[in-house]
Chains A and B, each alone.
Chain A
Amino acid sequence: MANSLSIEGVRAGYGAVQVLEGISLAVRDGETVALLGTNGAGKSTLMKAVMGIVTPSAGRIAAVIDDVEHDLVGKTPEEVVDLGIALVPEGRRLFPKLTVQENLLMGASRRAARGRIDENLAFCFETFPVLAERRGQLAGSMSGGEQQMLALARAIMTAPKILLIDEPSVGLAPIFVARTVEKIAELKRRFGLTVLMAEQNFTQAIKIADRGYVIVHGHIEFEGESRESMQNNDMIRRLYLGM
């Protein structure tokens, strides 16, 4: 069954501050789409708008989950999550005083996820062996890289159909970034996810993205229909590849 996300002409911001100035983008069924943009471009704000954390002042956000279309604007974050959309948020936002295992179990709170708890937990431990070793450790005492793994695994525990990931590479050493990106690809294959990933690290993001968008000051400046068209784009070469 198909799962997709479509955003049309979305404007949003914080109080008087307008951040998104009419964004349109789409993630089609089974795609991994990269959302590129420098600091302050509005990547996180867009993800928050999808999740119902910030409310758009104009535009439309809709998701198709298992062939059923849902209007996301006006829904609370928990309602959006309950449809089958998960966000790995900026800053990871783990529960620092809960253990690794308790964090993972928190992910399985929603009804649809509870039935698959054993299967998903086993999968997370198999995919991220460090989480299995550290299952009794408090999340707050994990290293940055381990926390990123846990944040990803916790989102998987919600049994999503659409996964939004906000800058998985932030704060990680290059080797960890490469590994994390590979894990994302693995999760996507295994669960047949539809993925939207915000990144600043173009080289890593393009390894797993089917295509992407570049967001600048709250506008979509460029839309690349394929990996090649992204790699050959002048602006991307200038901004991200230093050419």
Chain B
Amino acid sequence: MVTADLLANAVVAGLLLGGFYAAVAIGLAIIFGQLDIVNIAHPAFIIAGAYTAYILNSRFGIDPVLIGVLAAPLFFLAGAGIYRVYYGAFERTGQESLSGLAFFFGLMFIIEVVLILVYGVDYRLVQAGYIGESWRIGFVDLPFRMLVPFVVAVALTAGIYLYLARTFTGRAIQAVAQDRLALQLMGVNPIRVKQWAFGLGIATAAIAGALLIIIGPVEPSVGRQYIGRAFAIVVLGGMGSISGMFIAALILGIVESLVNTFMGPSWAPAVAFGVLLLTLALRPSGLFGR
């Protein structure tokens, strides 16, 4: 039965979920959408972010969102270092397509295996005062464990959007995939720009990971569920458009939530690909390709 309150709750829950998906996909919107690097390890970095939040939260009781923000600079450095290796080993010699993919696949495996060896396959979670709370507006439920990630994700998306649009480095990040030589003719070193952008993309994984573990318990292999979704969102959003990515994330969240409510949870994983295939059939450049 489709009732008004069931529908309203499903849409609102989907909106909140979609906001979180934006935080998951935004790093990939930079790394895959702008730089054309197929970083399938991105969700694994998000899991690493979630475990960082778990470790510091369980040991010191620090708020998980704060941990995400504090860990971001470290993730940035790790990302910049990884890009250096990737560039030196694959991109410089033009082998990025297949060997590069294997590189990120390997990285994903390493992160997962290390987490399993150290922490096992048990689900881990964080404590924060707001996690069990919720608001109720009319008949619509707003659980804080979804609302907080939504708000943080919106802030993150707005911040990255403004950074890319308003700063010299941000515009250079947009330019580097469009015409590398032209960027050099502007006096800018494209490798440095890509390194910075890759670092930035990985830094967002620290925050997305903290949000993930606020929403629910996490074990090392849950990242895999997000690979398809994150890539689908970036493609739907028009490859590299941050606003497009954000709207695509919201749409995916809402559709998934509706399917979950009215058809059952077993359908939900198929939603990302269903929406992706349908959109690409109708609009090959994604919803917001420019």
| Per-position 1/0 for B144-182, Cβ under 8 A of A | 000000000000000000000000100110110011011
Q: Once bound together, how far apart are the Cα atoms of A113 and B182, in whole Å?
A: 16
Q: Once bound together, how far apart are the Cα atoms of A94 and B182, in whole Å?
A: 7
Q: Once bound together, how far apart are the Cα atoms of A78 and B184, in whole Å?
A: 5
**B181, A158: Cβ atoms closer than 8 Å:** no
Q: Once bound together, how far apart are the Cα atoms of A78 and B178, in whole Å?
A: 17
Residue B78, interface by CB 8 Å? no
- With A97-B174, A105-B168, A138-B290 as known contacts, state yes or no: A110 contacts B187, CB within 8 Å: yes
Total contacting residues, chain A, CB less than 8 A: 29
Say which residue of B168, B172, B185, B189 sits within 8 Å of A86 (CB atoms). B185
Q: Once bound together, how far apart are the Cα atoms of A111 and B174, in whole Å?
A: 19
**A77, B184: Cβ atoms closer than 8 Å:** yes
Residue A177, interface by CB 8 Å? no
Residue of B nearest to A106 (CB): B186
**A95, B175: Cβ atoms closer than 8 Å:** yes
- With A93-B179, A109-B168 as known contacts, state yes or no: A98 contacts B174, CB within 8 Å: yes
Chain B neighbourhood of A154, CB < 8 A: 186
Residue B188, interface by CB 8 Å? yes
Interface residue SS majority, chain A = mixed
Q: Among B175, B185, B187, B290, which residue has the most Cβ atoms of chain A within 10 A?
A: B187
Say which residue of A53, A82, A93 sits within 8 Å of B187 (CB atoms). A82
- With A97-B290, A105-B168 as known contacts, state yes or no: A81 contacts B187, CB within 8 Å: yes
Chain A neighbourhood of B181, CB < 8 A: 53, 77, 89, 93
**B185, A109: Cβ atoms closer than 8 Å:** no
Q: Among A53, A77, A87, A114, which residue has the most Cβ atoms of chain B within 10 A?
A: A77
- With A77-B184, A78-B184, A94-B182 as known contacts, state yes or no: A106 contacts B172, CB within 8 Å: yes
**B186, A158: Cβ atoms closer than 8 Å:** yes
Chain B neighbourhood of A53, CB < 8 A: 181, 184
Chain A neighbourhood of B174, CB < 8 A: 95, 97-98, 102
A113 shortest CB reach to chain B, Å: 8
Q: Which residues of A110-139 are within 8 A (CB) of B?
A: 110, 113-114, 138
Chain B neighbourhood of A18, CB < 8 A: none
**B171, A107: Cβ atoms closer than 8 Å:** no
Say which residue of A89, A102, A108, A138 sits within 8 Å of B185 (CB atoms). A89
**A110, B186: Cβ atoms closer than 8 Å:** yes
Q: Once bound together, how far apart are the Cα atoms of A220 and B178, in whole Å?
A: 35
Q: Which residues of B179-238 are within 8 A (CB) of A?
A: 179, 181-189
**B290, A81: Cβ atoms closer than 8 Å:** no
Chain A neighbourhood of B168, CB < 8 A: 105, 108-109, 114
**A78, B290: Cβ atoms closer than 8 Å:** no
Residue A76, interface by CB 8 Å? yes
Chain B neighbourhood of A93, CB < 8 A: 179, 181-182, 185
Q: Once bound together, how far apart are the Cα atoms of A110 and B185, in whole Å?
A: 10
Can you spell out 9 A-B residue pairs with CB atoms less than 8 angstroms apart?
Answer: A76-B189, A77-B185, A81-B185, A87-B185, A95-B178, A98-B174, A102-B174, A106-B172, A110-B186
Q: Beyond A53-B181, A78-B187, A87-B185: 10 further Cβ-contacts under 8 Å?
A: A77-B184, A78-B186, A89-B185, A93-B179, A95-B175, A102-B174, A105-B171, A106-B175, A108-B168, A158-B187
